[in-house]
Structure 1
Amino acid sequence: MTHAKRAMRWMLAAPIVFIVGNGLGYIGRTYECRTDRIRIYVAAPGYESPRDELPKKLYAMNVTRCTLPEQWGGDREPLEGYP
């Protein structure tokens, strides 16, 4: 078998091995995590106020669930010190 045929076989087999080894679930979860957007409202950086008082102005941000911790509806590990 020539080197070209062997290389072509590996190039065809690599995606199949990846999909079977990782499972289609990994690919689906990655796609869903990156495309599932959620709108959150945040205060300006550095803004601090007592817990009972809301900030004067909130800014809307569209982010993916990959960037949010679990307790805020995302997929990342929970933040320490937050309920």
Structure 2
Amino acid sequence: MEDGKESESIYLGIGSYLDEDGDTFLVYDWRAPVSSLYYDYSPGLAAYQTPDGEITGTMLLKRQFVIRDGERCGI
């Protein structure tokens, strides 16, 4: 998403989940600032606010997964 950097997949959920080292978000809480990308934008130019300022970039794809009992059952 961020200008000048490689593309990054961002996943939203009911809570935040980090990798085993606790360094990298695997899933962001739906209330996190980055989540506004999903709720406020369609694919194309997008931005979200952080404490350090605005992050801008291009959203390439937006989709919703349905997960039940630990299994993905729809997109």
Q: TM-score over 0.5 for the alignment?
A: no
Compute the TM-score of the two structures, normalised by the length of structure 2: 0.21
- Higher strand residue share: 2
Which structure has the bigger radius of gyration? 1
Compute the TM-score of the two structures, normalised by the length of structure 1: 0.20
Q: Higher relative CO (CA 8 A, sep ≥ 6), structure 1 or 2? A: 2
- Higher helix residue share: 1
